[in-house]
Structure 1
Amino acid sequence: MTAPVAPAWDQGFGAEGGLYRRLRDGCARDWVAYTWHPFVQGLSDGTLPLEAFRRYLIQDYLFLIHFARAKALAVFKAESIEAMRDKTAAISAILSETLMHLRYCAEWGISEAEVRGTPESAETVSYTRYVIDRGLAGDILDLEVALAPCTVGYGEVALRILADPNRRVEGNPYQSWIDTYADPGYQAMAKAAAMRIDALGESHGGHARFGMLSPTFSEAARLEARFWQQGLDGL
């Protein structure tokens, strides 16, 4: 009997039987609620209200600042000098991304003053502090598991959009956002992040710790879904 072919959005993220896929499959309902949230579907078919996207963009900038801090914590928690170098490079890339993000916001009519003057939403605070808390309380695997739904999840979100039969390409105002995460460079980074979870799972007893790691991954997925939802709230 021929094995079923995985859907286009489910290829390349982690090894079969590896820790990443176990974590993702262990929270399947929450994972789909995040990666195929109504916000994401609106990006795909171009129907997402512009105000919802603008609200998301501002909070995403504020999120990136704390994401860089989480990566700095990963340098401290890293298991090797090579991992420290990788995480240091990631911090530099994220800080550069904040500048690109401000330019992108300007294209949507959002000034830097407005972005930086907007307070963090409750969703942004709860998500970013949760990730940092898991890193402070645990080891590098705890931190990486909390970070993975963001890094790897956005890669899957992009592939889900590309596979969507209702996807709008021509005239979709969000096509540039889709292109960012569908880009081969980002996809390679997302796949590497999933494989790192697998590798840390082997070196740090991940399978034996699954009962503790799974709730962290699930909660991060739920917080990601709430991060999308804040864009839609209040419309």
Structure 2
Amino acid sequence: MTLFQRLKTAAEAEWSAYTDHSFLHQLEAGTLPKAAFQNYLIQDYLFLIQFARAYALAAYKGRTLADITQGLRGLSASVEETELHVRLCARWGISREEMEATPEHPATVAYTRYVLDAGMRGDLLDLQVALAPCVVGYAEIGARLQPALDANPDHPYADWIAEYASDQSQQLATDAVADIDALGERFLPEGRFNEVAETFATATRMEAAFWQMGLETPVGAQTLG
């Protein structure tokens, strides 16, 4: 198995809890409450700001031009991804300024600062492993949810699903996996796999916690129409 396959296999339970979360089942069915989606989307906007910082750190940590380029691609993709959030929230009269003024949820703080800390105290492999559950997991989820759009062209969460099912998202995930496998050959001496695997599993658990945070909304919230 490649390094990424080993990491995903070692975190099988965490990965399943993340990619098979109730938030996603409701989103796929179109029954996710509007307030839950808004809550998640605003926090994810704040999340992406911190992830852009993490990818900037990846560029700084890079030892080759290819490393730096990969970090810059992640930074650019994170910034571009925020525009989806801004566009969707604008439909409900929520401005970028209001999003940025929203306090970060503890789940947002915990996850993003964990990733930044992993990068600060470790090497480039540690950082990319901490980032991977997000970019790879979202692409996997997007591809799995794509049939919901084929079945319902008027799906209330069509834009979100289409974003992560897109060729661009799939390619970013493929590149992230390839980068981790290549970094493993450079930065993973014998005996350090368990340490790196724990970083991956922890970041994956925090992804599941992020979905759960999105569900913490008022009872009786309406779905998008």
Q: Would the TM-score normalized by the shorter structure come out above 0.5?
A: yes
2:104: which partner in 1?
A: 120
2:39: which partner in 1?
A: 55
- Matching residue within 132, 135, 144 for 2:116: 132
Q: State the AA in 2 paired with 1:205.
A: L
1:112 offset after TM fit, Å? 2.0
1:159 offset after TM fit, Å? 2.1
- Aligned-partner SS, 1:128: helix
* Distance in 2 of aligned mates of 1:186 and 1:102: 18
Aligned residues: 218
1:97: which partner in 2?
A: 81
- Matching residue within 218, 224, 227 for 2:207: 224
Q: Does 1:23 align with 2:7?
A: yes
The answer to which of 64-73 and 206-215 deviates more is 206-215
- Matching residue within 125, 140, 158 for 1:156: 140
Deviations 1:55-96 (A, max 9, x none): 011001100110011011101211312211232243234224
Q: Is the 8 A contact 1:45 1:168 kept in 2?
A: no
The answer to which of 86-95 and 35-44 deviates more is 86-95
1:8: which partner in 2?
A: none
Higher helix share: 2
1:205: which partner in 2?
A: 188
Moved over 4 A (4+): none
* Distance in 2 of aligned mates of 1:218 and 1:105: 31
* Distance in 1 of aligned mates of 2:189 and 2:144: 28
1:181: which partner in 2?
A: 164
1:28 offset after TM fit, Å? 0.8
- Change in CA separation of 1:172 and 1:206 when aligned onto 2, cut-off 3 Å: farther
* Distance in 2 of aligned mates of 1:96 and 1:28: 30
Unaligned runs of 5+ in 1: 1-16
- Matching residue within 193, 198, 201 for 2:176: 193
Q: Is the 8 A contact 1:44 1:168 kept in 2?
A: no
Deviations 1:168-221 (A, max 9, x none): 523310011100010111101111111111111112126642110111100101
Q: Does 1:106 align with 2:90?
A: yes
- Change in CA separation of 1:108 and 1:209 when aligned onto 2, cut-off 3 Å: farther
Q: Is the 8 A contact 1:44 1:167 kept in 2?
A: no
- Change in CA separation of 1:173 and 1:42 when aligned onto 2, cut-off 3 Å: same
Q: TM-score, normalised by structure 1?
A: 0.86
* Distance in 1 of aligned mates of 2:168 and 2:86: 21
Q: State the AA in 1 paired with 2:62.
A: A
Q: Is the 8 A contact 2:35 2:217 kept in 1?
A: no
- Change in CA separation of 1:46 and 1:207 when aligned onto 2, cut-off 3 Å: farther
1:9: which partner in 2?
A: none
Structure 1 vs Structure 2: percent identity of aligned residues? 47
1:111 offset after TM fit, Å? 1.9
Q: Is the 8 A contact 1:141 1:197 kept in 2?
A: yes
Deviations 1:112-134 (A, max 9, x none): 23211110000000000000000
Q: Is the 8 A contact 1:161 1:167 kept in 2?
A: no
* Distance in 2 of aligned mates of 1:34 and 1:198: 22
* Distance in 2 of aligned mates of 1:151 and 1:114: 26
* Distance in 2 of aligned mates of 1:168 and 1:191: 27
RMSD: 1.9
Deviations 1:3-32 (A, max 9, x none): xxxxxxxxxxxxxx0011111111111101
